[in-house]
Structure 1
């Protein structure tokens, strides 16, 4: 330790200075280190900022492996979101390691439904303390009436409990209730009767309130006795139930809340936080509402760093090692949605842990290969067993055709955002956001709140939808039986049969710039991209044979583009189709070479490169052929999708090459045609930015 900047102190009291001085020690109080409140031009504002400094200075590897506690209060770790403005004078903090003994090794599990109580954190359930509560807390302390919204299982209620705990410590009186708790909206009297019962239960005072309308009145002697001049913060969960209440009941409830807000000087209640899905923002439009949509706060999904720290807690408690690429893959698949992250964690904990033990360390090791093979076959079972996803899928099946079509459009363009260009949200889009199908970006609008763009929530949600396409996006399947022989899917027959049926209307097309070869479209002409062919194949396959599963693709890097790969599974056999469209032949070759690694990584029976092109091969630029384990299908089509040529190279099992040629005037080529003589245009295309990106991705499998 650099003793030149350590200032010894034994101070434990707090003075009246307006600017606090924080000192921290690891072992002995007389070795405290003064923490700079300004570092690299950045002002520290929360305990979490102090904690990051401590982690860096004392070289502590894991941010989640220690707490900061007040020297004289070691039983109450400081919440990272605690504002430094709550302190004054000299504040001495101690570094408190979180040991496996403290947090109950091996007994915790991943929580996928319901809030995590304070006493359950890293004892019953794995829990990450996040430094993102400041906006909500600031609005509460400002006396705002807040609409706090987020999708189901996004951690809303857990965050509320964390906020309540912090507010209690700094002198507020938080009260929590849920409108799911036997509240009735049949009449005004029934609602307020239940409200009175819940308040009395939460306060747990021997003498109980008898009038719901005077509970928070300052002149009320019982209120003075109970609240003791502390400001009350009322948190109301499942607030969306109020949306369906009879108009007179809803207006009465909101009107009384509004009266509390307008007469705050005579009330103990300082703030009301309404909690629910995106729907609750509609409350703002009611003329009696005390809520203003500008005071909305949304839950925040996990960041990449959050997911890394969360699985760091799991690894420490469980005494396992998880490859960092697995953690990155989980973030990519889930987009940080807390519920989905926990589902993936539960699958690792229950289904993968213990399968591989390091002989030297005796620890469980979870590699990328372990995750690859499991995620590409079993992950969907875990997802559809997750009540939030199950509810979403059941709900969308009952919606209007327009709502289903809206969802399908977002599936097609994923991961792109649809920019709304100032248009108001349709009721279908509001529903999809509330249910958790979509995420959104917002833009500041004076005195209001506006959604600027929307995108599908995550890659895992996309695969859940793809596996339900036969119920929410019906298509007429081919009259022939689905081509399966001895549990082997005939991929070439599928592609040859389905390609002429593609729905190529402008509404269905997602496009890219042409980078192909030969006498095709001009360079940079817009042509269908991989996502178009991917969706068209999957949509008809699921309607043709619903028992075929469409499994998730595992990504190993956060910067990897969303590849247009399809993993079909039938009778526990996996078949990979990698879609490549309108690109150079050199690029197609690279995809073929990577296919062998992909086959090994997920344990596939066959891998196929399906190459769609608007440029026909010539003697100078010939289609690449197959290699052992990887088949290749080249499909030429015209711009109107009414003329096609197919060339198929079956996967090789040895040095013999098998070629199938289907088309009007396609020419057969000898087996030594893998080497290409690229024409001048293709040589220029090889250094194109898109091609360089593809080369950078070559290590992802």
Structure 2
């Protein structure tokens, strides 16, 4: 075995291919021509980004069906008595030859607007969160355009050099490799002789090769024509502060090409996160991209999610509650990576899966699966970088967005800059002019557990209160309240508030903290205390669906505490409410019991944070009937700066009603 082949095998084994794909790679290079393998090894040595290596190696075997060894394997597969099942693709672009082997929604129907802009010769920015299917959409659009006679070239930027000349050398090399492939394909389709592309190492070389009168376009087209479309992925890498000169040079020269009729390039598409909408040069007028033409990569619709899962269910012979598919759509907001991740998780579940079992699985395992998913691991790591701007962005999340899926209006220019960063990270999404919200319930839960808890670790130092191995929920919650960040609660009157329909400080319809302010703090403390000491799972924004009058009603249980099996296997529901009327309180009481029944919970507590006048003296508790059914209630009354806190509580125990009134915390 040559050293070059050995090096390639090392790369293949260390990269994120699945087992079958890795086997294909190893098999291919075992029988591949030595000179071709040498070329592959040389290219791999210049690539630093693992994702680019993966993409490159996949392209190397794109024509593998022509290889004798591959034809033999294909024949064996066709003879196999067991039909090949599709899989869910997670963490990678779906390549054209993979489409028949994965659960896949053809995105071309939602790409008409982008294709029309390309036809018009526009330079377009395609943006969306990481792992949202941008690259998969791009490859499908390329196929569509090539059927129309266009030549499409796809380049992944990856890690960029700060040296302008070296940058253009890398771009030139990538463009040349793509053009070599196009010319070879043309030769195989009937050209009498191959075409040798001139050396491409500089910006000048690129300009010469892409000039309309260059020989290559007479070779690829019947008549020279402006029918070349360039796609640049990971475009947001140009935004790095140390890339200013590279960015200026790149955009300036694209502008020259766009405004001249003497080049074969019809259109350019830049692909990246939301941040590319700010991409520009120091001289704003020279950018070739019009932000108003930017195309937002759409998430899956609910119908598309159902289409994928219906195919999965039929192929695997599964019985899955329809509410599970609805739940996956709402929890993920149609994010393609998360939709596929949920599918992969279900593959390991029983063949018959009801809704309650799925929700329990979410509590116990799904959160960990999401946190390990490369895209979201990168997100949480980025948000924990010790940087003043990032900390400000996290504080904005903590005080304005977390704990609610409602729209939030942001008008302050500095806060809008922070919001743009959070959108680029896939944490927030834009819903209207200067209006934003959390991207999805899954993302909300992920940020609370893996960012907020880590950055703000203050929590009780005492051992978790237990009796006969069972945690004492009342004492746990009472102790946790003492560690609330008083500033967060007092500021909530101004930046995370709602209107109270009861008297507060003698005023009806006064402003008070909304539920999310308490929810985020309680979640943070329980994660830092219970999770770290006894391994409890704290699940937030936990989605429940109920059929009501033949329609779906979406509700959220605020906190679910799952105690590990080796510690008496407790499941506790905490339903939070904030300064509500009696009628709203009664709705919460009934809903909390329904939650407990749905989950087969051991305990269910309604926790009412309130600022209502004299509520600590005259609290409102549920009926004895509800208490006897297992409902338990804690009320925390507090003043506006959270320095005076009083607790009232009621529950049924051993046939006796228990109450505490106006206990100072």
Superposition TM-score, scaled by structure 2 size? 0.74
Shift of 1:149: 1.1
Shift of 1:500: 4.8
- Residue 479 of structure 2 is aligned to residue 514 of structure 1: no
Aligned equivalent of 1:200: 179
Distance 1:305 1:107, change over 3 A: same
Distance 1:301 1:619 in 2: 49
Contact 1:196–1:209, Cα closer than 8 Å, also in 2? no
1:105-254 → structure 2 map (5 Å cutoff): 107-129=85-107, 131-180=109-158, 184-189=161-166, 190-205=169-184, 206-210=194-198, 211-228=205-222, 229-230=224-225, 231-244=227-240, 246-254=243-251
Shift of 1:442: 4.8
Contact 1:580–1:612, Cα closer than 8 Å, also in 2? yes
Contact 1:577–1:608, Cα closer than 8 Å, also in 2? yes
Deviation digits for residues 121-168 of structure 1, max 9, x if unmatched? 242344354621011101100000111111111110111111111111
- Residue 317 of structure 2 is aligned to residue 330 of structure 1: no
Shift of 1:546: 4.2
Distance 1:341 1:487, change over 3 A: farther
Aligned equivalent of 1:600: 597
Distance 1:522 1:559, change over 3 A: farther
Q: Secondary structure at the match of 2:109?
A: coil
Contact 2:370–2:376, Cα closer than 8 Å, also in 1? yes
- Residue 351 of structure 2 is aligned to residue 345 of structure 1: no
Aligned equivalent of 1:439: 429
CA RMSD of aligned residues (A): 3.1
Contact 1:218–1:224, Cα closer than 8 Å, also in 2? no
Contact 1:608–1:631, Cα closer than 8 Å, also in 2? yes
Aligned equivalent of 1:482: 464
Aligned equivalent of 1:380: 367
Q: Which deviates further from its counterpart, 529-538 or 586-595? A: 586-595
Q: Secondary structure at the match of 1:377?
A: helix
Distance 1:106 1:521 in 2: 70
Q: Secondary structure at the match of 1:115?
A: coil
Contact 1:534–1:564, Cα closer than 8 Å, also in 2? no
Aligned residue pairs, count: 540
Aligned equivalent of 2:656: 657
Superposition TM-score, scaled by structure 1 size? 0.70
Aligned equivalent of 2:634: 633
1:1-150 → structure 2 map (5 Å cutoff): 107-129=85-107, 131-150=109-128
Aligned equivalent of 1:645: 646
- Give the gaps of 5 or more residues in structure 2: 1-78, 185-193, 199-204
Distance 2:374 2:552 in 1: 30
1:387-398 → structure 2 map (5 Å cutoff): 387-398=374-385
Q: Which deviates further from its counterpart, 233-242 or 141-150? A: 233-242
1:417-428 → structure 2 map (5 Å cutoff): 417-421=407-411, 423=413, 426-428=416-418
Distance 1:533 1:563 in 2: 15
Contact 2:453–2:524, Cα closer than 8 Å, also in 1? no
Correspondence for 1:571 among 554, 557, 564:
564
Shift of 1:424: 6.7
Aligned equivalent of 1:367: 354
Aligned equivalent of 2:537: 549
Distance 1:144 1:425 in 2: 32
Contact 2:134–2:297, Cα closer than 8 Å, also in 1? yes
Distance 1:197 1:337, change over 3 A: same
Distance 2:320 2:293 in 1: 40
Q: Which deviates further from its counterpart, 475-484 or 395-404? A: 475-484
Distance 2:273 2:564 in 1: 39
Distance 2:228 2:131 in 1: 27
Shift of 1:584: 3.5
Deviation digits for residues 185-234 of structure 1, max 9, x if unmatched? 53415334423433334424342322322222221122211243451111
Aligned equivalent of 1:59: none
Distance 1:348 1:487, change over 3 A: farther
Deviation digits for residues 226-283 of structure 1, max 9, x if unmatched? 24345111111112223336444333322322221111x2222100101111222222
Shift of 1:307: 1.9
Deviation digits for residues 369-425 of structure 1, max 9, x if unmatched? 221221122211211121111111111111432122122234436212222338476
Correspondence for 1:588 among 569, 575, 585:
585
